[in-house]
Amino acid sequence: GIAELQSRALAGDTVEGYVHIEIDGVVHQQLVSLRPRVTADGTVIGVLAALHEIAAAANQQVIEEAPDQLTGIAGRATFLARVGSMLEASATGTAMFLLDIDNFKGVNDLYGARVGDAVLKTVATRLITSTRSRALLAAGSGGAPGQVHADLVTRLGADEFGVVLGRPASPADAEIFARRLLQVVRAPILAGDQRIRLTASVGYLITGPAQRGEDDVLRDLDVALQEAKLRGPNSSKIWEPALTSAMGRRLRMLDQLHRAVDEGEFVLHYQPILNLKDGRVVGAEALLRWNHPSDGLVPPAVFLPLLEESGLIVQVGCWVIRDVVRQMQVWQMLYGRAMVDWVSVNVSPRQFNDPAPLVAALNEINEGGFPLDRLKMELTESAFMRNPEMSRGVLSELRDLGIQIALDDFGTGYSALGALRQYAVDTIKIDCDFTARLDTIEGKELVLALLKIAQIYGADVVAEGVETALQRDTLREAGCGFGQGFLFAKPMDGRFFGAYALTHLVESAAPAQAEAGGC
């Protein structure tokens, strides 16, 4: 802290730089100058210190800007000015970071803006205390000999913070610092009577020839941040030239996805879910497909991550639910009966953490008279566990509407059992990787254990990825109620699904009739 500055001044150096001082809970940015007090013979006998108001320090290249009103730290203009001064001084090797709080909108939606503001203040204070910006200043950074820069922490947007290190850093140093920033945000935050856990994403870079101006830095930081977000919560990524090319490809695809939404290029295919005891089709999973005008059906793995990253999945997800209901009504009209007991709809983490559009669509359907207990929402455990308190509220709202809840890919993560303990789940879906290993002793024992867990918590079980008769028979003998996979049928257009379900209804009824005739 200030002791280090003092020791440098006592050693004969004149130092200055930004410091952040907290007064009555508000963080103020000031400039501090320290110089040695020397006798006639050159002996240092003390230190002379001066604090300068920012507005009075313009002649010392300090930015005249009011601090961010909410957090009290510096804002965007200060960040850009520091970046500009570093680039003008040809200060290659400067590490810069862009931090974004994951799903901060969900915090505001669940707890309110007042709690959200308190969270931002806490994060800002933690970032300052975790850097050298509280007077732990470093020499160098591309300035004049002996000039000292503090690490700079700024608020760039609603839930975005920028950090510039005041000392040269290697990629390894920057990676360590990025992890530290993530840890700072992950620590529980007490806001009033709420205990909130957050995660963040961090993009960072080491300045070099590619960054010729402030716009280049912001662009590259944002590219790295978006790449970090693709990796999931609590991730970081350093910028490299290849990322910019990849971002260009993603932007072109994103433009095509917007067009796909506007032009109605998305379609739904339905994969049957069968009762393993009698072979009857009891349900279906609705699967999103993109019917590209020139490329045909695009694999989901290509476009679903970008839908999630961009937030388009929220809009598309509402369309999926409405179209599922439309298709079920068409089956009812064509065949005079409900062809399935339920249809499962996948709800992504982004949708689940921004639930208002989803709930609004379901309320609209409910008001139209459609029985919502014929819809089942499939969620992965990552969606459940990202924000447990919010999850409980959203699930309660869905259950009040009559929606069934399924836990998808059960057993693939570390918190699946925790999700079952905390939330009432109607169905668990055993991941296809476990089904594929049923021909081994270990695989069979693992599936038996999963079935036992489901029984304890009163949940139905659907085994995914059933591809062989042996797998089907093993699951049936083990007590698994339902199966889904290529053995029964691949996903198909809704026009063909009704006929398929009707055929299996007739086929499954035949053995029962024969058995009844023999009594």
What is the tens place of the pLDDT at every residue in 370-402?
999 999 999 987 777 667 778 888 888 999 999
Q: What is the pLDDT of residues 418-432, one digit of tens each?
A: 667 777 789 999 999
- pLDDT bin (cut points 50, 70, 90) of residue 232 is confident
| pTM for this prediction | 0.62
**What is the per-residue pLDDT for 24?**
45
- Look at residue 243 and tell me whether its pLDDT is greater than 90: no
Q: Which residue has the higher pLDDT, 132 or 120?
A: 120
- For residue range 94-107, what is the model confidence (pLDDT) as tens digits? 899 999 999 898 88
Closest CA to 115 of 165, 61, 188, 190: 190
Which pLDDT value is given to residue 147? 40
**Cα–Cα distance for residue pair 143/236, rounded to 1 Å:** 29
CA 83 to each of CA 29, 150, 164, 177: distance values in angstroms, whole numbers, following the listed order: 17, 13, 8, 18
- Give me the DSSP letters along 393-412: HHHHHHHHTT-EEEEEEETS
User: What is the predicted pLDDT for the residue at 514?
Assistant: 39
Select the more confidently predicted residue: 187 or 23: 187
**All domains of the chain in start order, with CATH:** 68-239 (3.30.70.270), 263-509 (3.20.20.450)
- Whether the CB-CB separation of 305 and 226 falls below 8 Å is answered with no
pLDDT digits (tens, 9 = 90+) for 262-285: 999 999 999 999 999 999 999 999
What DSSP assignment string belongs to 188-241? -EEETTEEE---EEEEEEE--TT--SHHHHHHHHHHHHHHHHHT-SSEEEE--H
More confident residue, 84 or 91: 84
Closest CA to 120 of 110, 136, 105: 105
**Would you say residue 487 has pLDDT above 60?**
yes
